């Protein structure tokens, strides 16, 4: 009798486990919330500029670190994204003037994907948001001609106006239990990119990166 009860409990545990349930219509396994899957992941991206008439708007084609968070339901995904592109700077040969630029993007993402073997998700996405560039410059001059030199330093910060962007993307995502590992690539397009002291013009970059997070 005891063995029969134990076998029955084991069978119930197996049948009610997420891996044993029927797959959802998009091919994914039900999670803790059924067909509703919260996702959050850190991301790292880098890119290259495609032929364009616009100046490169700061360090966005360098290394970028960020995070995304959203929810998928039966293949449909919606969420928010934030990327911070590491500052880059340079100084004049004389050492009297230095400048740095910092870029950041934030917006929303929507998409639809299919899951293969309950493991690999292929998702097409569209990102919509804003990219902002901040410039900071420092100039050091000798305020007197005769020695000793009285050094004076002036600093100036200048922010670019808001730059609307569209980012069609493809995401490959592997779910190992609750752990999410992904690779993604997108075309980062700004119809009218504006940088300090430069006219606005269309700008396009190819971006690629990796993600690590949690999917429930």
Tell me the three-class secondary structure of 110-157, residue by residue.
Answer: EEEEEEECCCEEEEEEEEEEEEEEEEEEEEEEECCCCCCCCEEEEEEE
CB 120 within 8 A of CB 173: yes
Q: Which domain holds residue 127?
A: 19-91+103-131+163-215
Work out the burial of residue 185: count CB atoms within 10 Å of its CB; fewer than 13 is exposed, 13-18 middle, 19 or more buried.
middle
136-194 pLDDT, tens digit each:
665 555 655 555 565 555 444 455 566 889 999 999 999 998 999 999 999 999 888 77
More confident residue, 116 or 7: 116
Kindly state whether residue 148 falls inside one of the protein's structural domains: no
State the total domains in the chain. Answer: 1
Return the CATH number at 80.
2.40.160.20
Kindly state whether residue 63 falls inside one of the protein's structural domains: yes
Kindly state whether residue 108 falls inside one of the protein's structural domains: yes
Q: Give the pLDDT confidence score for residue 171 in this predicted structure.
A: 97
Kindly state whether residue 38 falls inside one of the protein's structural domains: yes
More confident residue, 150 or 58: 58
Say whether pTM exceeds 0.75: no
Q: Could you give the CA distance from residue 22 to residue 11 in angstroms, rounded to a whole number?
A: 16
Kindly state whether residue 39 falls inside one of the protein's structural domains: yes
Kindly state whether residue 7 falls inside one of the protein's structural domains: no
């Amino acid at each position: 009798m005891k063995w029969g009860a134990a076998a029955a409990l084991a069978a119930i545990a197996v049948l009610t486990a997420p891996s044993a349930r029927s797959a959802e219509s998009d091919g994914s396994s039900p999670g803790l919330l059924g067909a509703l899957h919260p996702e959050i992941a850190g991301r790292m991206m880098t890119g290259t500029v495609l032929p364009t008439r616009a100046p490169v708007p700061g360090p966005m084609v360098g290394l970028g670190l960020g995070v995304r968070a959203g929810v998928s339901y039966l293949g449909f995904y919606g969420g928010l994204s934030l990327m911070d592109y590491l500052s880059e700077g340079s100084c004049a040969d004389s050492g009297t003037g230095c400048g740095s630029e910092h870029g950041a993007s934030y917006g929303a993402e929507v998409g639809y994907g299919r899951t293969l073997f309950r493991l690999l998700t292929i998702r097409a996405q569209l990102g919509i948001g804003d990219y902002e560039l901040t410039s900071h410059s420092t100039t050091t001059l000798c305020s007197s001609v005769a020695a000793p030199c009285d050094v004076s330093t002036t600093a100036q910060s200048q922010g670019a106006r808001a730059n609307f962007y569209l980012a069609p993307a493809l995401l490959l995502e592997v779910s190992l239990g609750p752990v999410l590992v992904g690779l993604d690539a997108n075309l980062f397009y700004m119809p009218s990119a504006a940088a300090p002291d430069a006219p606005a013009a269309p700008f396009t970059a190819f971006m690629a990166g990796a993600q690590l997070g949690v999917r429930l």
